[in-house]
Amino acid sequence: MNIQKNISLKPFNTFGIDAIAQQFAEVLSMDELKEVIQKTPSFFILGGGSNILFTKERVPFVIHLNLKGINILNYSDDDVFVKVSAGEEWHSFVLWCIENDFGGLENLSLIPGNVGASPIQNIGAYGVEVKDIIDEVETLEILTLQKKVFFNSECKFGYRDSIFKKDLKGKYIITAVIFKLKHKNHQLHVDYGSINEELIKNNISNPAIKDISNAVIAIRESKLPNPSAIGNGGSFFKNPIISTQHFQELQQKYPTIPHYSVSETEVKIPAGWLIEQAGFKGIKKGNAGVHSKQALVLVNYGNATGAEILSLATEIQIAIKEIFDINLEIEVNIF
Ligand code: EPU
């Protein structure tokens, strides 16, 4: 296997941060993965690079996980089980599903990144989370180099969260994901306001999964910056969950505050709204900024360093705490 030295990571992360990998190993098979892990005591696993902010100038050892393959395992009643290797590009896989009329992931169209990262932060959009469609997650245990399969119930999925982000962080490498899709009797999720609006706009009353995918693509393109044009890592913060009491206090002061009920005692507030209210939407600080159409997305206007982006994020967190007494939790991985 070829281990390259001093490689710029700029093309490998959607934020476009120019960190340097002192050693960079491209891994194309399980054997290569095991071989490289044995060579180095510590490493950073890089997939699609869409949810990472590099804040250090140098990263000692990067393993670029590029395992490929999409295989139909079996059919049962309405379901089809598909195994997808970690290095497959997420959106290409979603399009493959749509071409095959396999339903379930259409609301998650156009999310940047690779399949292997999807269970880690339980990617979600427009009323669907990937946990709803994941059957199993295949991993390699770093310590033993043994394969370990996690059933959905073992992954402890939550809002932008899983066991791989918490208790098992750094212990397992996700090598493949097995999805349980529908090959008939599709269950469509169109409740998310703007999907319905988009379908109505296009005179579609009886949507197919492709129509949902197209609607999601149109919505995303209208408000989220395309990482190939302007560096970003999607939502930079999680939408905070606060107590109902705290929410009611805020509602007195801000009657139009958007909110989603999570439980009887908890309410989720869109962080984008809080950031916009705090006056940060569209601002530019050096090369770092807040996107003008969606305040939850921080952007790199050119040659920002990870530290510059992080410093803007900290400024936002301090302001939101001061104004609303809410702690904004960073969603993107910081390295
Ligand atoms: N809003 C504002 N100003 C803004 C942005 C949002 O006021 O600048 C308010 C509006 O009231 C809007 C509401 O926030 O109706 C929700 O906004 P949006 O539909 O854009 O969704 P979001 O809550 O900001 C979440 C996910 C996105 C996902 C969308 C759609 C998180 C952290 N983010 O954003 O995920 O695409 O919902 O389902 O949960 C990502 O994780 O990278 C990501 C893009």
Ligand 1 close to Cβ of residue 107 (< 6 A): no
Atom in ligand 1 nearest the alpha carbon of residue 291: 8
Closest CA to ligand 1's atom 3: 273
Just list the catalytic residues. Answer: 160, 235, 331
- Predicted local distance difference test score (pLDDT) of residue 204: 96
The answer to whether the CB of 43 is under 6 A from ligand 1 is no
Q: Is the CB of 281 under 6 A from ligand 1?
A: yes
Distance 263 CA to ligand 1 centre (A): 19
Which pTM was predicted? Answer: 0.96
Q: For the chain, how big is the Rg over CA atoms in Å?
A: 20
Q: Please report the domains of the chain, with CATH numbers, ordered by start residue.
A: 3-65 (3.30.43.10), 70-222 (3.30.465.10), 231-334 (3.90.78.10)
Q: What is the pLDDT of residue 45?
A: 97
Kindly state if the Cβ of 121 falls inside 6 Å of ligand 1.
Answer: no
* 296 Cα: distance to centroid of ligand 1 (angstroms): 7
Q: 295 in ligand 1 pocket by Cβ < 6 Å? A: yes
- Strands in the chain per DSSP E: 3-8, 20-27, 44-46, 52-53, 58-65, 70-76, 79-85, 124-125, 128-129, 134-141, 147-151, 172-182, 231-235, 241-243, 260-261, 266-268, 284-285, 288-290, 297-300, 333-334
Q: Could you identify the atom of ligand 1 that is nearest to the CA of residue 123?
A: 41
Q: Which of 296, 330, 332 to mutate to test the pocket of ligand 1 (most atoms within 8 A of CB)?
A: 296
Task: State the DSSP string of 217-243.
Answer: HHHHHHHSPPTTTSEEEEESBPPPEEE
Single out the residue of 134, 149, 156, 150 nearest to residue 82, CA to CA.
134
Whether the CB of 282 sits within 6 Å of ligand 1: no
Q: pLDDT (tens digit, 0 to 9) for every residue of the chain, 335 residues total?
A: 889 999 999 999 999 999 999 999 999 999 999 999 999 989 999 999 999 999 999 999 999 999 999 999 999 999 999 999 999 999 999 999 999 999 999 999 999 999 999 999 999 999 999 999 999 999 999 999 999 999 999 999 999 999 999 999 999 999 999 999 999 999 999 988 689 999 999 999 999 999 999 999 999 999 999 999 999 999 999 999 999 999 999 999 999 999 999 999 999 999 999 999 999 999 999 999 999 999 999 999 999 999 999 999 999 999 999 999 999 999 999 99
Q: How far is the CA of 40 from the centre of ligand 1 (A)?
A: 39
Contact 294 CB / ligand 1 (< 6 Å):
yes
Mutate to test the pocket of ligand 1, among 262, 269, 273, 293 (most ligand atoms within 8 A of CB): 273
